[in-house]
Structure 1
Amino acid sequence: MAASRNNVTPETSKRRVEVISNDHPVDSARPARRNTTELAYRELRRRIIESELTPGSYLLEQELGLMLGFSRTPIREAALRLQGEGLVQIVPRHGIRIVPTSISDIRHIYQVLLSLESTAAGLVASKADVDLSPLVHACETMSDAFERGDMLAWAAADEVFHETLVALSGNARLRGIVMNCRDQVQRVRRFTQMVKAHPQPLKSIQEHYAIIDALRDGDAAKAADLYRAHRERGWRDQTAVLQQYGIERA
């Protein structure tokens, strides 16, 4: 009897495999779900940064789902991620609040960026054989966009310049902190550009080239100082626009 119980035929083996497979099915939906959540996150983040969603407004998950073309689950997961980045606030029984940014918030964020991005510029200048061509290309793209009168493209290329410089520093932790802060800066920048055109787009390009020259020369102190001055001017320009139009929160 014991021998018969232990006798395994191809048929019984097949059935056992089927049982095991049914008990532990492969979740083929997980990659698709992650992809959907990522798409929802990117689109919701874009609309917040572009000020397409009104700062301070409340939106239900279902409402956002219909607006963006996603089900409630990826919207909820995207909102949780954006809440960690300080762009939204999930309020029970009220929905998802688009967190506005005040002038004082931006001042504090710029204080962080001024320090960290200037440090990044110094690190890049101190590195040997660093490829600065992406920075030059970003400046060329800014110039081309300005000549076409496409200030959105100009702003996008400007952001590429700053993000690339930080990446070239090779400090992943510094880059992570900077990128988290830059979301709020981009929001206010987009907002102020809708209110009033950038006051000195050519000057920004010239300052970029001056920073590149300092990086190429390996002058860390000069690169950091030029970068800090460039950022301080940007902060003053944005603050002036907000104050001119009496805007306390954007």
Structure 2
Amino acid sequence: MAASRVTVTSKSPKRRANSVKVISNDEPVEAARPARRNTTELAYRELRRRIIESELTPGSYLLEQELGLMLGFSRTPIREAALRLQGEGLVQIVPRHGIRIVPTSISDIKHIYQVLMSLESTAAGLVAARKDVDLTRLVQACDAMTDALERGDMLAWAEADEVFHETLVALSGNARLRGIVMNCRDQVHRVRRFTQMVKPHPQPSKSIEEHYAIIDAMRCGDAAKASALYRAHRERGWRDQTNVLQQYGIQQA
């Protein structure tokens, strides 16, 4: 009986050791999967940001290794991020040449603005038609634009301007409309950043005045006027950006 007890006791630690070993081996494999996904997501966001901010020259070619060194990622997450961005039309993967930063042409800008002028003016009308809508954030955005302009900080002015437009669309209450507009606005932001590097915004004060006029129309519940003012505002913005590109002979941004 004593021998039997010793045999059982000696085998028990072996089973526990094997059990621990299996868990130990599995853990790195399971942990690697979310870690890889996170790395790819970070690479995607940073590469996309640099494209949208026009920090990467439109039309340029970059090797995966170059981008990896630039952004601090290995080639695998860069490659996976590039595949996602290619699906969005922001890059083109060219065999033996690397990754091309797809430029936006003047005709692209025109088409994007046509979509924005239609949908955002609709959003302005929807906001005006809503009862008891809070327009405080729109006023705050305009105030921030004014403060930035007085400081001569045009980057902050542009950021506050985008907050105004994004907030207005959000206040429309139409999630589908907002989704389509936000997809187009990335391209507008990209071209805008590019033109700002070439020439400052021609009429920043006028933009602020037009914003306040749109707010007044919405506050009065005049959907038709709010929509018309917004459309005119967007049309001027499109003309200003197009004029800058044409003035400097830039066909793609």
| TM-score of the pair, normalised by structure 1 | 0.88
Q: Which runs of 5+ in 2 are unaligned?
A: 1-10
The one-letter amino acid of 1:82's match is L
The one-letter amino acid of 2:242's match is T
For each residue in 1:30-62, what CA deviation from the matched residue of structure 2 results, as whole angstroms up to 9, or x when unmatched? 333333223222221222122221111111111
State the 1:122 CA deviation: 1.5
For each residue in 1:218-242, what CA deviation from the matched residue of structure 2 results, as whole angstroms up to 9, or x when unmatched? 2221111111110000001111111
In structure 1, how many angstroms separate the alpha carbons of the residues matched to 2:122 and 2:213? Answer: 17
Give the aligned partner of residue 210 of structure 1: 213
The yes-or-no answer on 1:30 pairing with 2:33 is: yes
Decide which of 70, 73, 91 is 1:70's aligned counterpart. 73
The yes-or-no answer on 1:148 pairing with 2:129 is: no
Give the aligned partner of residue 79 of structure 1: 82
Q: Which range moves more in the overlay, 16-25 or 102-111?
A: 16-25
Give the aligned partner of residue 198 of structure 1: 201
Q: Secondary structure in 1 aligned to 2:30?
A: coil
In structure 2, how many angstroms separate the alpha carbons of the residues matched to 1:35 and 1:98? Answer: 23
Give the aligned partner of residue 98 of structure 2: 95
Decide which of 119, 123, 131 is 2:134's aligned counterpart. 131
For each residue in 1:63-114, what CA deviation from the matched residue of structure 2 results, as whole angstroms up to 9, or x when unmatched? 1010111111221222222222221112223211100111011001111111
Give the aligned partner of residue 172 of structure 2: 169
The one-letter amino acid of 1:171's match is N
In structure 1, how many angstroms separate the alpha carbons of the residues matched to 2:196 and 2:151? Answer: 17
Q: Secondary structure in 1 aligned to 2:200?
A: coil
The one-letter amino acid of 1:27's match is E
Give the aligned partner of residue 4 of structure 2: none
In structure 2, how many angstroms separate the alpha carbons of the residues matched to 1:127 and 1:198? Answer: 33
For each residue in 1:191-219, what CA deviation from the matched residue of structure 2 results, as whole angstroms up to 9, or x when unmatched? 11111111100000111111111222222
State the 1:126 CA deviation: 1.8
RMSD, aligned α-carbons: 2.2
Q: Secondary structure in 1 aligned to 2:93?
A: strand
Give the aligned partner of residue 3 of structure 1: none
The one-letter amino acid of 2:82's match is A
How many equivalent pairs are there? 243
The yes-or-no answer on 1:113 pairing with 2:116 is: yes
Q: Secondary structure in 2 aligned to 1:89?
A: strand
Q: Secondary structure in 2 aligned to 1:28?
A: helix
CA 1:149–1:61: 2 relative to 1, 3 Å: same
Q: Secondary structure in 1 aligned to 2:168?
A: helix
The one-letter amino acid of 2:164's match is F
State the 1:20 CA deviation: 7.2
8 Å CA contact retained: 1:49, 1:186: yes
Q: Secondary structure in 1 aligned to 2:249?
A: coil
Decide which of 237, 240, 244 is 1:237's aligned counterpart. 240
Larger Rg: 2
In structure 2, how many angstroms separate the alpha carbons of the residues matched to 1:50 and 1:222? Answer: 33
In structure 1, how many angstroms separate the alpha carbons of the residues matched to 2:223 and 2:14? Answer: 73
In structure 1, how many angstroms separate the alpha carbons of the residues matched to 2:85 and 2:194? Answer: 19
8 Å CA contact retained: 1:85, 1:180: no
The one-letter amino acid of 1:169's match is S
